[in-house]
Structure 1
């Protein structure tokens, strides 16, 4: 089956159960109402002469209860959802959508100021639709679907190998790579999510992390199980805690940074969190001491999940029973790990020679699963490289112990994961190197208690030149957005280089990670 089939099955079983709730509780829709909206959107898409089967549809919005319904409707219409990150600079998103050959963009009014630039930069994209109100820059969503209410939408033939999602992954040079995810991959990810996280029709998810990325699979998994989702537009610790208590939330998916923010909130100790069954931490490793604190203060409800855009998630998962002993003490080795391979994935460690290695040997984490992507969009060479020898190559370095626990200890590629977001240093380096006072720079991730990794720039200035740290950080914020901008800048007289003049970034990075138990 495909995503929309699972949703239809849930709507048939639980038509009157609550499905989606707007953050403040003013909008509450049940499964029958949600299905009606899905059908209207799918019918509007299918009857649009400018769109065909397989059209690429993007959603440019902060968290909104309609996002999951749009994703289901796009699937119901046999079209492809294109993920874009709202915290990217608009120029970045134009490049992403141009590369993805986007046909239509749903946008929220909070981003409508960027739509004129998108229209100029995306001549292929003919249709823009504003989700939440009338806009001079696009059709009003409510009016757009008004003539498609109570329609009969013919069943499309299910093709499990048809593309369902185009998930941009970022890139160090040129346009982003886009992971092509089929109906089969999405289906298996949903099954893996609700299996690993113990979801059922009583589940109530609080959506805080961006639904433009991994968090959407948790929301969708809840929907196909007949559970409900409460959607908050942005993170505020007090609001999150208040919503957990008021809405009797059972499940959250959070990056470590939000977990840390909740732990630092004075309101936590005065909030009723007894409804919680699972806080799934993903997008980056959680610090072991923070995990322990969360268990002590919230309870044994902390899970950890690991995956990638290219192989979805979870392919590796850690549940409380994995790291809590019967005595109540922590199993330190299990605690530091990402978990064990889920039943729906084979996860191994591969040596440099391409052979799989045994317990205790360091190597690249490789995956086989129906969750793995079909390839990168329009990039056959990259697709072949990442699937060499019949395995998906994560480029993460790990060690598996005799019990099957996999600990991620390093990263082969240059990517920085800060607060759950992927940042590619070449982009930041290009912005800094463009300044006339800069000779060259190296951008790395350094240990950070809040972000996991913080972006740091090591800069070598030209002789006789001066520039402030604040100026370079502000330059990057303007060019790339605040997420990608360095949190700190150091000025070195000389950067370490190889015999051929290449900056030895691993040597720079090692100075900041010395004494850490891991290197990511």
Structure 2
């Protein structure tokens, strides 16, 4: 299956008139979206974008953006997700590294598109959504149906750049098919699904459109994750399936209207991209009911390496098992998950090491980076860079990123464990725990927090509560309250940026 095959399957199941995409008051049926992807796909081919090339869409979430991505897939080109909030220099890097041949853009991005046209040597065609509504070259009725090549590239997705310059990740049709089928086997998306895409389509929220389309579902696109708007959309469109990063779930829980909104249509609220504190998982289950599903993955192994199903959430809640709620589940149907030490030896249950993954959803490698690709794999296992352990029942528990581990007074402190303790405080909305310079201990455990709306915080009280649950070594020695923590477009907190302010001019690999 190719990305476009999910759309065509949905059109077969639901018929031409069923709503495929809803964008505000705009509604596009499956028949209309299929026709538009053929028309735009033919124009892409006419301008040299097709099999063996790449193309991109630039703009905020919209029906046009999703149609553009599907048209790229129809042409046989590989899609390069481009974040509309990125700087011009970042976009130049991504599109140049990916040898982008064509760029479809939102009219509000016209100035950026003009700069990219001048600075990205591979670009042959840039076209706005408005221009696409006019006459286009190429024959949509004669657009070829590319042969099914499981190993052909479907996407070149770039890493978040949280630890350095973004790297291009080459993902095949087979990898994307594995991601879609793994989710379909693990979660109830609705019959048919109504999927709310509020987080950026260029990240996980975009990938989740494909399983919804595969079932003949409707994708409701929204330009951003604003808690009140998300809750209103769930009620108005009877949304059955929603993906959000934990930071956005916390926003929903803090919204004063959450209790009065009708949330009964939800079948799956999928959270991923970062661990969620067990206390917050319990709170979300109490508010939304037994619909939470957690998955774990990364750009190099997209999203569905492990799954903590809705039934497993409910069972852990009923048993009062916060440890199970703090895990990210067991291996999905398409992945093997293990723990490895630095020497490459696989470790048994309970032993902490680097999480490694193998299976059909892995990347082919990093784009034009054979050395980085070789370093990422060990005997066929993808090294994720995440530290964790597997318990006796096969549940995966993440404790930190290898680069985020704090060494304080000679002791290893895993930030995720401390963050869970900090997030248990009723005033804390979100937090990042990092190591900051300390003359005696090398690094001091430091919590940088956002507060819930209208809340206040006594730092000494928080530190004392953490000492009671974690002990003095792991508990924060310092607490800072920030109005807002820096985040990536995918909603991940950028610890690199937070650390930079504390370590500027000092000897630490940020």
Scaled to the shorter chain, the TM-score interval is 0.7 to 0.9
Which of residues 362, 365, 371 is equivalent to 1:372?
Answer: 362
- Answer yes or no: is the 8 Å Cα contact 2:82–2:94 preserved in 1: yes
- Answer yes or no: is the 8 Å Cα contact 2:44–2:102 preserved in 1: no
- Answer yes or no: is the 8 Å Cα contact 1:10–1:224 preserved in 2: yes
TM normalised by structure 2 equals 0.80
For 1:34, the equivalent position in structure 2 comes to 33
For 2:257, the equivalent position in structure 1 comes to 267
For 1:73, the equivalent position in structure 2 comes to 71
Tell me which moved more, 447-456 or 314-323.
447-456
Deviations 1:183-232 (A, max 9, x none): 11111111112222223541111111100011112111100111111100
For 2:244, the equivalent position in structure 1 comes to 254
Instruction: Report SS of the residue matched to 1:151.
Output: helix
- Answer yes or no: is the 8 Å Cα contact 2:6–2:211 preserved in 1: no
- Answer yes or no: is the 8 Å Cα contact 2:187–2:310 preserved in 1: no
CA distance in 2, matches of 1:172, 1:286: 19
List runs of 5+ in structure 1 lacking aligned partners. Answer: 134-139, 417-443, 461-472, 496-501, 506-520
For 2:132, the equivalent position in structure 1 comes to 141
Deviations 1:140-161 (A, max 9, x none): 121254x568623222211111
For 1:14, the equivalent position in structure 2 comes to 14
How far is the alpha carbon of 1:320 from its aligned partner? 2.5
Deviations 1:422-475 (A, max 9, x none): xxxxxxxxxxxxxxxxxxxxxx99957545537898799xxxxxxxxxxxx9xx
- Answer yes or no: is the 8 Å Cα contact 1:305–1:339 preserved in 2: yes
CA distance in 1, matches of 2:303, 2:503: 40
How far is the alpha carbon of 1:5 from its aligned partner? 2.3
- Answer yes or no: is the 8 Å Cα contact 1:456–1:486 preserved in 2: no
How far is the alpha carbon of 1:95 from its aligned partner? 1.5
1:14-413 equivalent positions in 2, closer than 5 A = 14-16=14-16, 18-24=18-24, 26-48=25-47, 50-131=48-129, 133=130, 140-143=131-134, 145=136, 151-171=141-161, 175-199=165-189, 201-325=191-315, 328-413=318-403
- Answer yes or no: is the 8 Å Cα contact 2:56–2:69 preserved in 1: no
Q: 1:241 to 1:494 in 2, by over 3 A?
A: closer
Tell me which moved more, 448-457 or 398-407.
448-457
How far is the alpha carbon of 1:167 from its aligned partner? 0.5
How far is the alpha carbon of 1:298 from its aligned partner? 1.6
- Answer yes or no: is the 8 Å Cα contact 1:36–1:149 preserved in 2: no
Q: 1:5 to 1:21 in 2, by over 3 A?
A: closer
CA distance in 2, matches of 1:457, 1:292: 31
CA distance in 2, matches of 1:204, 1:172: 32
Instruction: Report SS of the residue matched to 1:157.
Output: coil
Deviations 1:302-344 (A, max 9, x none): 1111111001121111113213338834322210101111111
Deviations 1:112-165 (A, max 9, x none): 22223222321321221112x3xxxxxx121254x5686232222111111110
CA distance in 1, matches of 2:164, 2:308: 36
Report how many aligned residue pairs link the two structures: 445
Q: 1:494 to 1:34 in 2, by over 3 A?
A: closer
Which of residues 439, 453, 456 is equivalent to 2:432?
Answer: 453
Instruction: Report SS of the residue matched to 1:143.
Output: coil
- Answer yes or no: is the 8 Å Cα contact 1:42–1:74 preserved in 2: yes
How far is the alpha carbon of 1:3 from its aligned partner? 2.1
Q: 1:71 to 1:452 in 2, by over 3 A?
A: farther
Q: 1:17 to 1:201 in 2, by over 3 A?
A: farther
How far is the alpha carbon of 1:271 from its aligned partner? 0.3
For 1:510, the equivalent position in structure 2 comes to none
Instruction: Report SS of the residue matched to 2:211.
Output: helix
CA distance in 1, matches of 2:99, 2:317: 56
How far is the alpha carbon of 1:171 from its aligned partner? 4.7
